[in-house]
Amino acid sequence: MVDVGDGHSIYVEQCGNPEGRPVLVLHGGPGGGCSPFMRRLFDPEHFRVVLFDQRGCGKSRPTAEVGANTTAHLIRDIESIRALVGLDDWLLFGGSWGATLALAYAQAHPARVTGLVLRGVFLARQSELDWFYGGGAGRFFPDLWARFQEPIPLAERGDMIRAYHRRLFSADRAEQARFALPWLMWENALAGLQAAAVSHAPADYARAFARLENHYFAHGCFLDEGQLLRDRHRIEHLPAFIVQGRYDMVCPPNSAWELAQGWKGCDLRIVPASGHALSEPRITAELIRITDMLRDRDREGVPLHGT
């Protein structure tokens, strides 16, 4: 547990080879937390894997806290962790919101990054939020969209993020809990094409996930509109690999496509018959192919830039 100030204490772990290629894993959400599954995408004999639960979620404390919890705070936390574990630079590995945070950190500290492996790209633009919370995805899942809208009065359904925000940040803890689960279930139900969706979650997890995600989305993820594409030039010298499900309904492929266009060192892999979730079999397999390839290149002395 690392005290990062502002009343937050974050959970950090390392695994694998202490002398191996360092990689930082950035979980999704915001608010998702890390899982042991994420470690398994790396050969532990070759990689030194650093994982952490971002402010307010997972094993970090206080749970579901949104005070002093912005993208800038998380970038600062990443730099604190890097200094704490004594690394000059590292490979970034992140999916969904983790890809967003990886891009934001890399653009802020390009000298500290050796490359990026991204999955299910989310660029934190209003058009992406409108797709998921404004009815776009609901056209493919009208029954699930209706279930997500049901707890909200008709007069408020024109802005579902704000409507849920009023309830997730109510002074009534019971009301927060009632609205956390449908928020979580809407995203979870659409995440998997091949991976099975989970229909329940522990109350504390649901509350942390819903509050943090809604907090970030209600504030445009604390990024300028289009910032991650605008500032891509800061990291275009770095190698990048993107794994994107062809039928990703949470983060549709157009964002990954736009990010990759014109980036000479970017290897975009659109995976057929796959959705958004990290646990999608073909998504998992493609990510492992990439990490194994990077391992083999290291052993052969081939630089990462040789995409």
Q: How far apart are CA 205 and CA 38, in angstroms?
A: 18
Q: What's the full length of the chain, in residues? A: 307
pLDDT at 52 over 70: yes
Q: Is residue 92 helix, strand or coil? A: strand
Query: Which is nearest to 81 in space by CA: 160, 164, 13, 165?
Result: 13
pLDDT, tens only, 189-244: 999 886 555 567 889 999 999 999 999 999 999 999 999 999 999 999 999 999 99
Give me the pLDDT at residue 194, please: 67
Give me the pLDDT at residue 195, please: 57
Give me the pLDDT at residue 306, please: 45
Give span(s): CATH 3.40.50.1820, the chain: 2-125+222-300
DSSP 61: B
What is this structure's pTM? 0.97
Give every strand in the sheet of 47-52, ordered side by side: 12-16, 47-52, 21-26, 90-95, 113-119, 240-245, 266-271
- For β-strands 47-52 and 240-245, DSSP reports them as unpaired
Residue owning tokens 């290149």? 297
Q: Does domain 2-125+222-300 have CATH number 3.40.50.1820?
A: yes
pLDDT band at 144 (very low <50, low <70, confident <90, very high): very high
More reliable by pLDDT, 201 or 42: 42
DSSP 293: H
Give me the pLDDT at residue 305, please: 67
Long-range residue pairs from 7-10, CB within 8 A, at least 24 positions apart, any chain: 7/62, 7/65, 7/67, 7/68, 8/55, 8/56, 8/60, 8/61, 8/62, 8/65, 8/68, 8/69, 8/73, 9/60, 9/61, 10/52, 10/53, 10/54, 10/55, 10/60, 10/77, 10/81
Q: What is the dihedral of CA 153, 158, 159, 162, to 10 degrees?
A: -30
Give me the pLDDT at residue 193, please: 84
Q: What are phi and psi of 196, to 5 degrees?
A: -70, 135
Residues designated catalytic: 96, 248, 276
pLDDT band at 304 (very low <50, low <70, confident <90, very high): confident
- Percent of the chain predicted with pLDDT > 70: 97
pLDDT, tens only, 94-130: 999 999 999 999 999 999 999 999 999 999 999 999 9
Q: Is the separation of the CB atoms in 221 and 100 below 8 Å?
A: yes
pLDDT at 71 over 70: yes
Query: Distances in Å between the alpha carbon of 29 and those of 48, 141, 183, 184, 307?
Result: 24, 21, 12, 10, 29
pLDDT at 307 over 50: no
Q: How far apart are CA 37 and CA 278, in angstroms?
A: 9
pLDDT, tens only, 244-295: 999 999 999 999 999 999 999 999 999 999 999 999 999 999 999 999 999 9
Q: How far apart are CA 16 and CA 19, in angstroms?
A: 9
Q: How far apart are CA 245 and CA 256, in angstroms?
A: 10
Task: Please enumerate in sequence order all residues whose Cβ is within 8 A of that of 288, keeping only pairs 6 or more positions apart, or say none.
Answer: 41
